[in-house]
Structure 1
Amino acid sequence: MSEKELPLPENEIERLAALQSYRLMDSGEEKDFDAIASIASALCQTPISLITFIDEKRQWFKSHVGTSLTENFRDLSFCTHTIAGEEDLMIVPDANQDPRFADNPVVTEAKVTFYAGVPLVNEDGFALGTLCVLDQKPHDFSDDQIDALKALAKQVVDKIELRRKVTLLEKTNQELINANVLIQKFASMAAHDIKNPLSSIKLTSQALKIRKEILQSEGCLRLVDMNITATENMLELVNEMMAYSKNPALLLEKKQEFELNALITKVVSLLVVPDSIRIILPANKHLLHFSIIAFDQILINLLSNAIRYNDKIGGLIEIRFAEEAEYYVLEIEDNGMGIPESYLEKIFSSNFTLKISDRFSNQGSGIGLSTVKDLLYLLDSSISVVSAEGLGSIFIVRLKK
């Protein structure tokens, strides 16, 4: 039989997609399925019984009783006709007398003469494969044997449906666990990040009070504007976090277009940046399409660390940007304290700290970088670092478009 003559179900494309969703092909033999095949062979009084699944080119045997074969070409398979038909059972009493199979090598060489197969139809109506029995001699197939084969086929379908539902449930449960862990980390990191703008507001407020009461400086208005800007930016960040807390999927799914330098400028306004530190932004304008909530948190953490752990008189932080076919690449380089080589991997571990104080005499919590790494992992993205102790660090973030 040529491939052109191969009978195909009307919903073949959808059927193949459904089959793939079960991940049954080449999934290995299992005792539960072997038991059903053995019962089918015994009840139907045939030496061969198979539980098969059929993809675009192959018929693969999930269970095989009475043969050592584990697969067959689809165009040589009796079951190809079973899944393409509209009946709930196909019987070939004598294949030698059937023009569809008389010249089939399964008949001429393997001497298979009798075939009876029931399509394994899932709950969406797709025939994924068959439960079938075969013999090398013709058979009369009784009504009781037909009923038994159909009942056993239903058991096979029930098993694979249950298995898929359990797999989906386990996946959903794992996603919930991951989301809950991420929420905890995110909340801790967010609380940590909010300290920076609050510190900025506190410092400028104190300076404002001194200038107004003692120096009567005209710079008061500028400091008021700084407070207002910092407060507005912080409120925007809090609103984003509140939206995320109600729907964690927003963090990963809600992508927006934004201009890179504008967002960096907004983030920098949330931080306490000493006059001794200069921040260089990427050259030119760059439009990105990414999760702003996630990008905010990643950038806040990395820039905050670059500022806090910079011990140089002339501190420098340079942000570079490049675009690849599938990724945005962000580099944040500083000339700060640097990280010992033995700790370059450990710094991304939860609760790990270098146990050193920053320029504000505070110690890190060990939460930020691990949460950044987890966020990026969920976004199919990554972070790495190159550093030399005493010279500074370069954090490289690859963001999947």
Structure 2
Amino acid sequence: MNIPFPSNELERVIRLSEYDLDYSDLESQFKDLTKLAAKVAGTEISLINLIDSFTQWSVSTHGIPALQMPREDSVCTYTIMGEESFEIRDLTRDERFNNKFYVTDDPNLTYYWGIPLKDEKGFNLGALCVMDKHAKDLSPEKVELLKIIADEIVNRLKILLTIQQLKTKMNDMSQNNKRVAHDIRGPLGGIIGLAQVIKEQGNENSLEEVLEFIHLIQKSGKSLLELADDILSENFQEPQKVKINPHTELNLELLKGKLLDMYGVQAKQKEVNLSISLNQEHGHLPFNKNKMLQVIGNLISNAIKFTSSGGDVSVNLDLEEVDEKKNLSVVVRDTGKGLSQEQINQILDGNAKSMNGTGGETGFGFGLPLVKHLVESMQGKMSIKSVQGQYSQFEITLPA
């Protein structure tokens, strides 16, 4: 069965990546709205779903545990194709969905109603949906209320985006302050050293007035140097002791945990062994969170997709610091079907073609182009090694 996707799909997933969302950490932001949606509709279940290149993420749920699923299995994949609400009164009679696990097994759903979450730029980021085991009749008044709830979800996503942008700007300002402080330390150190020499010479020549003047220069220079040191050391905190802001920062330990939480389910569903290792020496050093989960997550999903059951997907994380600049190094390797040199060239040129996964998963062809776009926009680098029938290895380096 051909699974539809929006005509602007690449632009849509790029737009979703700009929100830089942690799909595993949004429940508290929207819990009240999912509960309200279920109460308004009179259904047992309601979900807020965001749909990326590979996966439908239920970032907030009511009446059902948090879940994720391949986007080709979801009803909301069809919802984001349109502008208005999408309703299926009996999933068991619709050949597109009657064999899906949520229809044939618990919770044995019958009814679905959903509406796209369209942001201010016109992109459907996902959908608000309500579902039940029994058929429902939603009055026009209830539909209007559900649309208002959907608008509020989009408003909150916009607020999260705005906050993220403000924090990024504040972080940039902090980095600029550090650079300025670093730039002035050298000249100030030279001035202080020169003043010390002149002072010593002046002592020999008994130039008391000059000595007093030089003493003032030295005292002022030392004050400025201490101020510069304060900025550079962030109030004298050592890097290992800096408290990480989970909204804007990660370290390798936290990143490993989030990746396992988010993508371990996909690996388990396909019986693929997912392992993540890191350089323990750098495990607690903080770095910018900016779109790291989107880049690495897409690589992991892609690796799982093209690895057969029983195969392995390994991820290695490291943080390198060169000339006071941090670079995140990520290597994702799988024991999947591999890539030809032509396919590697197509990926690196941004012309990757859609391919179905080893388990028959639908290929949409937008995951790797999104990774390439994000890596380039972050001034990072990506390389690919592969042997057909043996393995594929993606290595990226990103400024952190």
Tell me the TM-score normalised to structure 1 length.
0.47
Flag the structure with larger Rg. 1
